[in-house]
Amino acid sequence: MYKVDFNKPCKVYFMGIGGISMSGLAEILLQRGFTVFGSDIKNSDITDMLSSLGATINIGQVKENITDDIDFAVYTAAISKDNEEYLAAVSMNIPMLTRAQLLGQVMSNYKYSLAISGTHGKTTTTSMMSHILLEADTDPTISIGGMLDAIGGNIRVGNSEYFVTEACEYTNSYHAFNPYISIILNVDEDHLDFFSGIDEIVESFKTFAEKLPDNGLLVINGDMEHKDKIVSELKCNIITFGLNPENDYSAKDVSFDDEGRPTFTLVKNGEAKERISLHSTGIHNVINALSAIAVSEFLGIGMEIIKKGLLACTSAKRRFEHKGVTENGVIIIDDYAHHPTEIEATLKAAANTPHNELWVAFQPHTYTRTYALLDRFAEALKLCDHVLVADIYAAREKDTGLVSSKDLCDRINSIGGHAEHFHDFLSIENFVEKNCKKNDLLITMGAGDIDKVGISLLKK
């Protein structure tokens, strides 16, 4: 594998530079004096920002973009092996790194590199850790898979030994990381277009945990079914968290305010400690916060700073984000949930938020996930009063006719739920305007572009 010498800036080319993680890496290299070129399929706020920082951006990916003076190139999983730029770089023998390989090398430059993993909750927990580290004046470098107001985007380049990033299991990309501290929030069935099932997913997280040095730290959800298998052969320090009081960090006496935000008593090694309040909603965020508290104390951060950081954390965009109230008095919330476990957590959080009826405009994300987890999706979505299901967001996949949004609606209705299928967003908007009443709560939900529905409704 090509090794980047961060003390000798050179010319680098990013294929797919407009992506959340790729753009963050590009910004880090720009700050370190590298000459950054890249491409994407269209202009965006992110590509405009990178251009303003000195990057040269090509719109469209053609072989002419690749020149023989490029020292190395970086590509994402979305770049196919028949991509013109990819083929051109290979033909010129330009060294190539995946996004994850570059991120792993970047992490090696920091003493306190933290990788936050798990099937669910990575972005929110990264937000929590970011707020705590900022409150502690550690001047961290942060790479997050969403837009965070506290850092004005998805990347913050600091000048200290602290680095925090998300670590996604998809395609085992996080196996290229080099963390000193890792969090494993949970392990669940997902990305079944890549993994064969839960056993392979557990094995993937086990391999990720084994990347830690002997003096490093794994903070892991002790309530997980597969925890023992993951930690069985580890030599590093291990801290557990969860709602079970047998964990090193747990919570009790959880209460919620009138906006669904929790306050809880922190329990450490069986002893009740502080009362801690969160801005993030839901019991699942109490669990996420426990992991952030454990890491923060390991780093020597005081409890008062931890409490301030957690309370200041409003989470990232599209994580139970209050968007506003329509002219008709309908409350609009947007959430990125696209897995049954995430949907259930979001709807339980919504139950603690004052409202009349609960509506969800849901956009399934990928055909493989919808097909594999169809029954679980139906059970989770049955928790709300009404489900308005948009067509499946294909992302990286093609429609083979295996499953449709109508199939999901039929399954929801067959178990006592109330779901309707809509082929376009305008139809959903019109239905909401006619049927949602004052103080009803509408959650636009999914990892695609369903948030456009809420944005449009609020403009009317």
pLDDT digits (tens, 9 = 90+) for 199-257: 999 999 999 999 999 999 999 999 999 999 999 999 999 999 999 999 999 999 999 98
Q: Is 459 helix (H, G, I), strand (E, B) or coil?
A: helix
Q: 412 is written with which tokens?
A: 């929801």
Of 459, 458, 435, 430, the residue nearest 325 (C-alpha): 458
Q: What is the dihedral of CA 406, 409, 410, 416, to 10 degrees?
A: -170
Average pLDDT over residues 261-265: 96
Q: Is 402 exposed, middle or buried (0-12, 13-18, 19+ CB in 10 A)?
A: exposed
Read off the pLDDT band of 314 (50, 70, 90): confident
In 3-state terms, what secondary structure has residue 177? coil
User: Tokens 């969800």 map to which residue?
Assistant: 360
Q: Where are the alpha helices (DSSP H) in 53-153?
A: 84-91, 99-107, 122-135
DSSP code per residue over 129-153: HHHHHHHTT---EEEEEEEEGGGTE
Q: What pLDDT digit, counting tens, does each position of 149-191 carry?
A: 899 888 898 999 999 999 999 999 999 999 999 999 999 999 9
Give the DSSP H or E segment for 419: strand 419-421
Rounded CA gap, 146 and 332, in Å? Answer: 20
Phi then psi for 404, rounded to 5 degrees? -140, 170
By the 8 A CB rule, do 177 and 107 touch?
yes
So what's the pLDDT on residue 154? Answer: 84
- E-strand ranges in 149-270 read 153-156, 162-167, 181-184, 217-221, 237-241, 249-256, 262-268
Q: Is the pLDDT of residue 299 over 80?
A: yes
